[in-house]
Amino acid sequence: MPSGGKMATKVWESALESRKIMITIISGTNRPSSRTRIIANAVQGHYQSMSVKHQLLDLAELPAEIFSPTAYEEKPGSFARFSQAILDSDGLAVVTPEYNGGFPGVLKYFVDMLKFPESFEQRPVCFVGLAAGSWGALRPVEQLQHIFGYRNAHIFPKRVFIPGVYEVLSDDGRVTSMDLSDRLGRQAQDFVAFVERIRGIKLT
């Protein structure tokens, strides 16, 4: 077979491969009608257009029972769909807003409620941050990198920061900036390649 034929087979296998992975997008606040959710929807659109399996977890949909102090000891059944979604993921895309120079408390609480250590151990994760201010959620993203690093996740180094988030969204909840859309698309594409490359490799 000519070498061109071999190449075609390889590309086809790689396209199939990308359909086998599952990316979970986390909308990292429980504030109703958050811009974080709008950005998470846009991220979701990029995985959709690449035919990559994906699901979106919106922390605004966390069940009330998970906030009972007893949840540290025993997780309510209604939380299972969240915790299982993380365990079933080949990669996580965390979208976080900036709240008071950090990421939302509910996102840390969510992390604390997940199964330890298997939720993040050697699981690839990428980050998108958004803020009203000009630092574009650099602080919350870097705080999250510390935490996921502590939990032995594989941190994807290309982050997306969104400063002045009010200016890049329309009133009906769409991303109006071409530049932002490109940046989110490139991150999603490169993250899929990263996840595929390290899938199945156990470092320890």
Ligand X SMILES: Cc1cc2nc3c(=O)[nH]c(=O)nc-3n(C[C@H](O)[C@H](O)[C@H](O)COP(=O)(O)O)c2cc1C
Binding of ligand X at residue 130 (CB under 6 A)?
Answer: yes
Q: Is 105 in the site for ligand X (CB under 6 A)?
A: no
Of 149 and 164, the one with the shorter C-beta distance to ligand X is 164
Stretch that binds ligand X, among 32-40, 42-50, 70-78, 142-150 (CB under 6 A): 32-40
- Nearest-5° Cα angle at 110, 108 to 114: 120
Question: Could you say which residues in the range 141-200 bind ligand X, by CB under 6 A?
Answer: 165
35 belongs to the binding site for ligand X (CB under 6 A): yes
Instruction: Kindly state whether residue 26 participates in binding ligand X, applying the rule CB under 6 A.
Output: no
| DSSP element (H, E) containing 19 | helix 3-20
How far is residue 132's CA from residue 115's CA, in Å, rounded to a whole number?
A: 33
Residue whose token pair is 């390290």: 198
Q: How far is residue 132's CA from residue 97's CA, in Å, rounded to a whole number?
A: 9
Cα(181)–Cα(175) distance, integer angstroms: 7
CA–CA separation, 167 vs 187, rounded Å?
Answer: 21
Q: Interface with ligand X includes 99 (CB under 6 A)?
A: yes
Does 133 help bind ligand X (rule: CB under 6 A)?
yes
Residue 34 C-beta: closest distance to ligand X, Å: 3
Report the amino acid identity of residue 165: V
Which range of residues in 106-114, 124-132, 147-155, 184-192 is near ligand X by CB under 6 A? 124-132
End-to-end CA distance of the chain: 40
36, 89, 143, 187: which one binds ligand X (CB under 6 A): 36
Q: Is residue 34 a contact residue for ligand X (CB under 6 A)? A: yes
Nearer of residues 72 and 166 to ligand X, judged by Cβ: 166
Rounded least distance, CB 67 to ligand X, Å? 17
Which one of the spans 10-18, 61-69, 127-135, 173-181 is the region binding ligand X (CB under 6 A)?
Answer: 127-135
Instruction: Report d(CA 17, CA 194) in Å as an integer.
Output: 12
Rounded-to-integer distance, Cα 108 and Cα 25, Å: 16
Cα–Cα distance for residue pair 30/43, rounded to 1 Å = 18
Residue with smallest beta-carbon separation from ligand X: 133
**Site residues, ligand X (CB under 6 A):** 29, 31, 34-36, 97-101, 130-133, 165
